[in-house]
């Protein structure tokens, strides 16, 4: 009979933080103690190095005790104590082999064989995890702190900004925007629903500097007819997901951002960040990236 594995946390707390519904303790390395591989990938580097050092010391201490079982296991020293056995284990595990100490009995050679197998497995695992940590692609994508809603070509339009802080090319960038909202069914059941918001332009072959994202709030838009008070009551929030290929590392990057209801500014527009200098060239000034002004 197959026994289903129980969740290690049966009760998960959801909390409103700045208007955004979040899982308390979610996406934190502290919550992965029952998943060692994920823990080693998410823990800070200093914690990862500390774990490696502790495992190395512990493993060498175990093998040192095994060597001490046979008093004549190690040659090259007058008297074999714990420290001598420990450092002999360090040399064996790390394949250093200074040549001063060496195994001289069958038992010692069997332990050395076992330790060499353990060292191969240990260093393979540590190298693989360290490489995975280094190889993880990270995005440096900035989103405007607020989103605006104002008329654009006669249609109320949701707008926000995003920018590539690395200033290299993000190829085939794609944006998807969703409205997350509490809904009550006709049977009285509450559900958290996800509605996709159609964008004027949802992809760009090259995302280099800045991108103003626009969603027209027409009659087919999930935002149509919603007021700020209604969105706050229904815990509405807007989820933005951006994916693309970083030209430098040739790897896929992901970025996301949440806009709570109180970060939606009605009848305001973003301050223009592009200007033309006296030399005739265009300049992009990120100083006013998050600033808005009233629509006249």
Backbone phi, psi, residue 174, to 5°: -130, 135
From the list 286, 268, 23, the residue with the least C-alpha distance to 146 is 268
More confident residue, 27 or 62: 62
Tokens representing residue 72 in the block: 């004549």
Structural domains of the chain, with CATH: 32-135 (1.10.287.70), 141-294 (2.60.40.1400)
Q: How is residue 2 written in tokens?
A: 């197959």
Lowest mean pLDDT among 4-8, 146-150, 249-253, 256-260: 4-8
- Geometric angle at alpha carbon 162, from 271 and 175, rounded to 5°: 135
* Cα angle value 247/248/252 (rounded, 5°): 60
Kindly state the tokens that stand for 178: 């969703």
Q: What is the mean pLDDT of residues 80-97?
A: 90
For 205, the token pair is: 């072959």
Nearest to 116 by CA among 93, 96, 97: 93
pTM: 0.67
For residues 269-278, give the mean pLDDT.
84
pLDDT of 60 over the 90 cut: yes
Instruction: Supply the mean pLDDT for the chain.
Output: 85
Please check the confidence at residue 97 and state whether its pLDDT lies above 50: yes
Count other C-beta atoms under 10 Å from residue 15's C-beta. 11
pLDDT band of 59, cuts 50, 70, 90: very high
Residue 7's pLDDT band (cuts 50, 70, 90): very low
Confidence of residue 11 (pLDDT cuts 50, 70, 90): low
Q: Which residue has the higher pLDDT, 54 or 23?
A: 54
Contact by Cβ (8 Å): 200, 214: yes
* Res 21: pLDDT: 54
In the predicted structure, residue 201 carries a pLDDT above the cut 60: yes
The pLDDT score that the predictor gives to residue 249 is 76
- pLDDT given at position 287: 85
- Rounded CA separation 74/100 (Å): 10
pLDDT at 89: 92
pLDDT (0 to 100) of residue 54 = 92
Q: If DSSP states are collapsed to H, E and C, what string results for 245-292?
A: EECCCCEEEEEEEEEEHHHEEECEEECCCEEECCCCCEEECHHHCCCE
Whether pLDDT at 196 is above 90:
yes
pLDDT tier, 137 (very low <50, low <70, confident <90, very high otherwise): low
> Around 228, how many Cα atoms within 13 Å sit in the side-chain half-sphere?
14
Exposed, middle or buried, 178 (CB in 10 Å: 0-12/13-18/19+)?
A: middle
Contact 153, 230 (CB under 8 A): no
Sorting pLDDT into bands at 50, 70 and 90, what band is 29? very low
pLDDT band at 213; cut points 50, 70, 90: very high
Confidence band of 3 (pLDDT split at 50, 70, 90): very low
Report residue 251's pLDDT band, with 50, 70 and 90 as the boundaries: confident
Q: What is the pLDDT of residue 285?
A: 81
Q: Tell me: the pLDDT tens digits for 145-174?
A: 999 999 999 999 999 999 888 878 889 999
Do 110 and 104 contact (CB within 8 A), yes or no? no
Task: Judge whether 102 and 67 are in contact, CB under 8 Å.
Answer: no
Confidence category of residue 1, pLDDT binned at 50, 70, 90: very low
Pairwise pLDDT comparison (37 vs 193), residue with the higher score: 193
* Gyration radius of the chain's alpha carbons: 29
């Amino acid at each position: 009979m197959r026994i289903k594995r129980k969740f290690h946390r049966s009760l998960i707390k959801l909390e409103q933080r700045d208007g955004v519904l979040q899982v308390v303790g979610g996406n934190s390395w502290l919550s992965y103690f029952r998943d060692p591989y994920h823990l080693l990938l998410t823990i800070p580097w200093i914690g990862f190095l500390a774990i490696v050092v502790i495992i190395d010391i512990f493993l060498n201490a175990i093998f040192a005790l095994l060597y001490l079982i046979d008093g004549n296991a190690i040659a090259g020293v007058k008297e074999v104590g714990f420290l001598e056995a420990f450092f002999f284990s360090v040399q064996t595990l790390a394949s250093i082999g200074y040549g001063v100490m060496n195994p001289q009995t069958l038992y010692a050679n069997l332990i050395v064989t076992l330790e060499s197998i353990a060292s191969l497995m240990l260093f393979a695992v540590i190298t693989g995890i360290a490489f995975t940590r280094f190889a993880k692609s990270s995005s440096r994508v900035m989103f405007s702190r607020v989103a605006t809603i104002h008329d654009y070509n006669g249609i109320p339009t949701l707008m926000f900004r995003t920018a590539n802080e690395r200033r290299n090319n993000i190829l085939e960038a794609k944006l998807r925007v969703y409205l997350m909202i509490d809904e009550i069914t006709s049977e009285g059941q509450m559900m958290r629903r996800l509605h996709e918001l159609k964008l004027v332009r949802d992809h760009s072959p090259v995302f280099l500097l800045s991108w103003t994202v626009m969603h027209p709030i027409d009659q087919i838009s999930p935002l149509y007819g919603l007021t700020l008070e209604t969105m706050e009551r229904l815990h509405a929030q807007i989820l933005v997901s951006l994916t693309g290929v970083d030209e430098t590392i040739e790897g896929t990057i992901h970025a996301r951002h949440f806009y709570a209801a109180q970060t939606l500014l009605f009848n305001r527009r973003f301050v223009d960040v592009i200007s033309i200098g006296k030399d005739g060239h265009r300049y992009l000034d990120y100083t006013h990236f998050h600033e808005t002004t009233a629509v006249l």
